[in-house]
Structure 1
Amino acid sequence: MRVTTSRSKNSESFYITKSYTNAQGKSTSKTIRKLGTLAELSRRLGTDRAGVMAWANEEARLETLKYKSETEGAAVMVPFHPNRPMDYNKQKLFGGGYLFLQSVYYKLKMDSVCRKIKGRYKFEYDLNAILSDLVYTRVLDPSSKRSSFRAAKQFLEAPAYELHDVYRALSVLAKELDFIQAEVFKNSFFLGGRNDRILYYDCSNYYFEIEQEDGDRRYGKSKEHRPNPIIQMGLFTDGDGIPLAFSLFPGNQNEQKSLKPLESQILQQFGCEKFIYCSDAGLASEDNRVLNHLGQRSFIVTQSIKKLPAEDREWALDMKGFKRLSDDAPVDITQLTEDDRQNLFYKDEPYTTKKLHQRLIITYSPKYAAYQKAVRGEQVVRAEKMVADGALKRQRKNPNDPARFVNRIAVTEEGEKAKVHYFLDQEKIAEEEKYDGVYAICTDLLDDDVTDILKVSEGRWQIEDCFRTMKTDFEARPAYLSREDRIKAHFLTCFLGLLHFRLLQRSLKGTYTTEQLLQALKDIRFADIEEQGFMPVYERQKITDELHEACGFRTDYQFLTKRKMKEIQKKSKNR
């Protein structure tokens, strides 16, 4: 409700009016009450025009409160006509799952980040609208940039920019990649603490649907074993598996060298100085360990037992000297009880290399040993079938290929040419059995409790899950972009999408899988009801209740007026 006035030749009248949207979808207004003329009200109230206007505004406020109290919870009557056809080209179904990601987006102050970037350029398009839609569609409907633009048009708040603006924005986002990551990390503390005392690091690669190398897209060892050029990504997450920072490097580069530049950026721009670096053996070179032995940093990394010096390898595989992790009691691994087969055992000793004094921890898990034995047993059966059928294919480099257990004899004892004979290599099988259930960890934390060290190491599954989510659920690969700057921006939106999703997932009270939360967000849709409002057309569940509670608004009422929906959209942008 608001106060309006009308002037005639001899007087000025005051009214309370109400704005609304008519059946044709146009905004209009109607008079609720006439308050009187200026002369009448001035005489009655004993004041001038300013005093009359203040009184009128108060009357409008009271009228608004009265209207809300009368209409709150009232049934909504929407007329439908059985013989009236639908309008052409009228969208009736809208996606609403983005509202919950939008709540995270604005709490991260991404709009402020975009304003800072805009101040350094002269573009006219809305960078904030473009970036936010790229993030939302990467989570909810991952596809090409053109398809993402079309998908964003299905949201309750359709984009006002054009497709060519998206491609122009990608170039700007690529230039500001480091700045955006640093700002997002700083702002992420507004959504709760970050466990930046533990940093997990890992690398993966993404293939492109091209046949020739170009720029950073180089031939390398693809995770998918595809014969396409790849680009590699190094990713840091915090101790809770929340993405922290990422970098891109050529597909043919040794991933060991990717750590130092990204870690230097974290030290300089993120203010992280004291943390434990944790990675798998592939990223635990001597130089990377030395790097994370400096200052207030430490490391906990997995160690390949096969690459240990002979003396240390013999000690690691010796079944003597183990202790039960739960109580440090000495245990004979060869004489375990049924109860002990559920436990974990360890032993440790100093481990010195040319550059570092370290601690080598060996663990033994009976359950893991049984699992490895069962898997190998199936592989041996397949290898035996290969020998029997004489259908041995060329052995691949895959360490799980059953053909690794097949050996061959191609000459006689006199060295003469002979027919090739294949046989099952029992020595190879026996050699692998030595490593069943055994796992090695190296650290420079010489005095810390083994239980705490192992707990940190076990958390590496979280960063592996991040890569799996980006590749599978967010469809980060294959990438179809060709320009280097747009490729960088593509992976930036994937990174930001993952960050938003993980922060939203953490805010829920219950524990939900990635698939459960993704499906819940994708299912949240609204039907337009004759332009009078929206009806939710999704199933209310416990997870949707928790989403509403975490984000501070509710969309699960039977009917939402247009005014109410705008209030919800406004709340989703509150910090």
Structure 2
Amino acid sequence: MFLRRTKVRRGNIIYEYVRVVENYRKNGKTHQRVIANLGSIKSLKKDVANIIKGLCRICNREDLNVENLKTRGSPRYGDILAARYIWKELELDRLIAERMKHTKVKIPVELVSFLMVVNRLVDPKSKLAISRWYKEKIYLPELEGANFAPHDFYRSMDCLEKMKENIEVFLYNKLCNLFTLKLNLVFYDTTSSYFEGEGPSMAKHGNSKDHRPDKHQIVIGLLVTDEGIPIAHEVFPGDKPDKATVVKAIDDLKKRFNLKRVIFVADRGMVDKTTLDYIKDQHYSYIVTLRKRHLNEAKEAIKRAANDLEEKRKNYEEKRKNEEEDKRKKKEPLFCEYRPKDGPRYLVCLNPEKKKDDEIYRASRIEKGKRKLEKIKRLVETGRLKDREKILKKATLALDKTNRKYFSYSSSEEGSFSYSLVRETIEEEKGLDGIFIIKSTAYDLSPQELIRQYKNLSQVESAFKEIKDFLHIRPIRHHQDYRVRAHVFICVLSYLLEKILEKRMGEAHLDMTAREALDKLDDIRIAKNQIGPKTLLCPVQGDAEHRKILNAVGIKSIPRVLLS
């Protein structure tokens, strides 16, 4: 039986009625007959709710009465669904499941691993808290009836950590197919992450990039593409120098990924002559920057470039006065190249805006130092400070490492005090204002390309910032080395999902970051509506922008109702 709307014309007026009809077959044909007339639609409007309630009561179907509907929660769905789609697109579900097929582990390691990774992505919590979080805060069809205990998460971490190297190689090959990835340029950097308390055995005191030398830490090395997609990472003891981690990164590229020709890009602090020679021995090229304290080796290049760069700087300033240049061109550094007959090439670059900043900063440090030394001079002249040793000690303490090099000061046995500027140091610094030097054995790249790839090194810095600030690598609550390695791996996998989401946004020409897309998808929740013994799961359908994000990921639609 079903309802049918019927129209009846009486004169110039059309009346609409509601009838209950049913289909029946006669002589092999389908016919309809009226079971009951419910009256005109106009008269029914005020009574329709009472009629439905009455029918539910008479037919003992109170579960259909909307007044009995109770909403039991609204777990997140949109962002989880998008992350799950990318996870499956990378075939991580298949890979991990196959790896676990012939083990004695009975828990679904793949699904539990995904829960830990997606938790880092959208709502970072401890592994203990995740065992409650997934039941109450998110929805996935695969989680129906799942009941994972905290030890299931720890067991899955252990399994995941053992698969790390195989997963990284598998993902590299998969990414090459998905995005026609060409790993001819790789970027490498390290960071540190500290522990509250002792931490595991690999946690040591070292060079803290979190400015916490008092804490035990680990060192993390990360290799990414020029788009910032993570390829491989390694966790080292906290006292491992940066330079000592590079050989492991190079060996990974050579042996695990079988890469024949690669340009290795790193900050100058990551490498020394031995490391650069090792890179060369592997038939790889490199792009590194020289720190100012290491500029002696490029002295000839700087000397040759000085006049040319000054001329280019003047032309640049003149152009800025006379014409409106676009913002991109304003930020392009000026450069001069020096290629010795043997050995690496040097690119001496000048950033005019940075040159001004350096001048202003130095002037402020000198002015601050002058004020403090003048104050000491007045104390000496008024007789309030007389002892020579005390005068010199006070002057030393008055200056700091940012301005001490600019001053020379002395005090006589009689207790007088004088100071002067070290003009040679100031003039030497002025010649290096706004200067940075790129050293490279990538002879086939143009100077502009060298500069662009040097700037791309910030991709690794962005990765570490994201892993620390948004994916919350800290606090690390584990006390075994292998669990710490697993925790870092989970954070890197989470970052990989984020970068692929960001890439999908770009391909769809959506002007938003992955983080903004995830925040937007958080609007798509599941309303858990209970009517009697049944639970109806009703996803929020979202607006046009939500649909664009989901379509960019590859999700064409979401169901209107899910039964539980």
TM-score range, shorter chain: 0.7 to 0.9
What is the 5 A alignment of 1:241-256? 241-256=228-243
1:551 — aligned with what?
A: 554
Identical pairs, percent: 19
- Distance, in Å, in 1 between the alignment partners of 2:557 and 2:372 is 61
Paired position in structure 2 for 1:192: 179
* Closer, same or farther: CA 199–332 of 1 in aligned 2, 3 Å: closer
- The 5 Å alignment of 1:350-499 reads 350-351=339-340, 357-380=343-366, 382-383=368-369, 387=373, 402=402, 404=404, 409=409, 412-414=411-413, 429-499=426-496
Instruction: Tell me what 2:100 maps to.
Output: 118
Q: Which moved more, 1:172-181 or 1:373-382?
A: 373-382
Shift in alpha-carbon separation, 1:488–1:407, aligned structure 2, 3 A: same
CA contact (8 A) 2:70 2:529 kept: no
Asked if the contact 1:234–1:248 (Cα under 8 Å) also holds between the matched residues in 2, the reply is yes
Shift of 1:375: 4.0
Paired residues of 1:217 and 1:230 also in contact (CA < 8 A): yes
Structure 1 counterpart SS, 2:477: coil
Q: Which has the higher helix share?
A: 2
CA deviation profile, 1:482-521 (whole Å, cap 9, x unmatched):
1111101100100100111101210122242354234224
Residue ranges of structure 1 left out of the alignment (5+ in a row): 1-31, 36-43, 45-76, 324-329, 567-575
User: What is the alpha-carbon distance in structure 1 between the residues aligned to residue 132 and residue 363 of structure 2?
Assistant: 51
Q: Structure 1 pair 336/110, CA: closer, same or farther in 2 (3 Å)?
A: closer
1:436 is displaced (CA, Å) by 1.4
Aligned residues of 1:395 and 1:403 also touching (Cα < 8 A): no
Q: Out of 155, 173, 188, which is 1:168 matched to? A: 155
Alpha-carbon spacing, 1:85–1:208, altered in 2? closer, same or farther (3 Å)? same
Matched, 1:233 2:251: no
Aligned residue number for residue 560 of structure 1: 560
For 2:139, the aligned partner's letter is: L
Alignment of 1:251-330 (within 5 A): 251-309=238-296, 312-313=298-299, 315-316=301-302, 320-322=306-308
Larger deviation: 201-210 or 475-484?
475-484
- Which segment drifts farther, 92-101 or 274-283? 92-101
Amino acid at match of 2:107: Y
Question: What's 2:110 paired with?
Answer: 128
Does the C-alpha gap of structure 1 residues 117 and 297 become closer, same or farther in structure 2, counting only changes over 3 Å? same
Contact kept, 8 Å, 2:199 with 2:478, in 1: the verdict is no
1:287 CA drift (Å): 2.4
Conservation of the 8 A alpha-carbon contact between 1:369 and 1:438? yes
The question of whether the paired residues in 1 share the 8 Å contact of 2:538 and 2:562 is answered with no
| In 1, Cα distance between equivalents of 2:417 and 2:540 | 68
Residue 313 of structure 1 deviates from its aligned partner by 2.3
Inter-partner Cα distance in structure 2 for 1:248 and 1:528: 42
Alignment-derived partner of residue 333 in structure 2: 344
Query: Are residues 146 and 396 of structure 1, via their aligned partners in 2, closer, same or farther at CA, if it must alter by over 3 Å?
Result: farther
SS at match of 2:97: helix
Q: Partners in 2 of 1:543 and 1:419 — Cα distance? A: 75
CA distance in 1, matches of 2:243, 2:257: 22
Write the letter of the residue equivalent to 1:148: I
Whichever residue aligns with residue 528 of structure 1, its letter is K
Residues 526, 113 of structure 1: alpha-carbon distance in 2 compared, 3 angstrom cutoff = same
Q: Deviations over 1:348-381 (max 9, x none)?
A: 22358xxx71111101121221233344445455
Instruction: Give the equivalent residue in structure 1 for 2:36.
Output: none
Task: Output one character per residue of 1:215-244: Cα deviation in whole Å (capped at 9) or x when no partner.
Answer: 110001211211211100110001221000
Matched AA of 1:495 = V
1:155 matched to 2:138: yes
Query: How much does 1:536 deviate?
Result: 4.5
- In the other structure, the counterpart of 2:498 is 501
- The one-letter amino acid of 1:338's match is E
Query: Shift of the alpha carbon at 1:321?
Result: 4.7
The runs of 5 or more residues in structure 2 that have no matched partner are 1-21, 29-51, 53-62, 322-329, 377-393
1:205 aligns with 2:205: no
Residue 105 to residue 422, structure 1, CA distance change in 2 (3 Å): farther
Cα RMSD over matched residues? 3.6
Contact 2:539/2:561 (<8 A) preserved? no
Change (3 A) 1:148 1:379: farther
From 526, 545, 550, the counterpart of 1:542 = 545
Hey, what's the Cα distance between the residues in 1 that align with 2:315 and 2:123?
55
Taking the aligned partners of 1:455 and 1:266, their CA distance within structure 2 comes to 22
Structure 1: distance between partners of 2:158 and 2:74? 34
Aligned-residue offset at 1:167: 0.9
Q: Please, which of 96, 111, 118 is the counterpart of residue 78 of structure 2?
A: 96
**Taking structure 1 as the reference length, what is the TM-score of the superposition?**
0.72
Given that 1:139 and 1:501 are in contact with CA atoms closer than 8 Å, whether structure 2 keeps it comes out as yes
Q: CA contact under 8 A between 2:301 and 2:348: conserved in structure 1?
A: no
Report 1:131-146 matches (<5 A).
Answer: 131-146=113-128
Contact 2:86-2:553 at 8 Å conserved across structures: no
Superposed CA deviations along residues 70-113 of structure 1, whole A, max 9, x for unmatched, are: xxxxxxx996655x5958xx434344311111111111111222
**In 2, distance between residues paired with 1:191 and 1:177?**
20
Shift of 1:471: 0.5
Q: Between Structure 1 and Structure 2, whose CA radius of gyration is higher?
A: 2
Question: For residue 134 of structure 2, what is the amino acid of its counterpart?
Answer: A
Give the 3-state SS of the residue equivalent to 2:107 in structure 1: coil
Give the match for residue 7 of structure 2: none
Say yes or no: does 1:108 pair with 2:95: no
Q: In the alignment, what sits opposite 2:206?
A: 220
Secondary structure of 2:73's counterpart equals coil
The worse-fitting range, judged by mean Cα deviation, of 494-503 and 380-389 is 380-389
Q: How many residues align?
A: 470
* Cα gap change, 1:275 to 1:292, in 2 (>3 Å): same
Partner secondary structure for residue 459 of structure 2: helix
Q: 1:308 to 1:128 in 2, by over 3 A?
A: same
**What is the CA–CA distance in structure 1 between the aligned matches of 2:170 and 2:360, rounded to whole Å?**
49
What is the alpha-carbon distance in structure 2 between the residues aligned to residue 149 and residue 377 of structure 1? 57
Q: Judge conservation of contact 1:346–1:361 (CA < 8 Å) in 2.
A: yes
- Corresponding letter in the other structure for 1:155: I
Distance verdict in 2 for CA 1:335–1:319, change over 3 Å: farther
AA matched with 1:118: M
How far residue 430 of structure 1 moved from its aligned partner, in angstroms, is 4.5
Question: After alignment, is 521-530 or 181-190 more displaced?
Answer: 521-530
CA contact (8 A) 2:228 2:459 kept: yes
Worse overlay, 314-323 or 163-172: 314-323
Q: Deviations over 1:32-85 (max 9, x none)?
A: 9999xxxxxxxx9xxxxxxxxxxxxxxxxxxxxxxxxxxxxxxxx996655x59
Matched residue of 1:339: which SS?
helix
TM-score when normalising by structure 2: 0.74
Task: Tell me the CA shift for residue 296 of structure 1.
Answer: 4.7
SS of alignment partner, residue 184 of structure 1 = helix
Shift of 1:319: 5.7
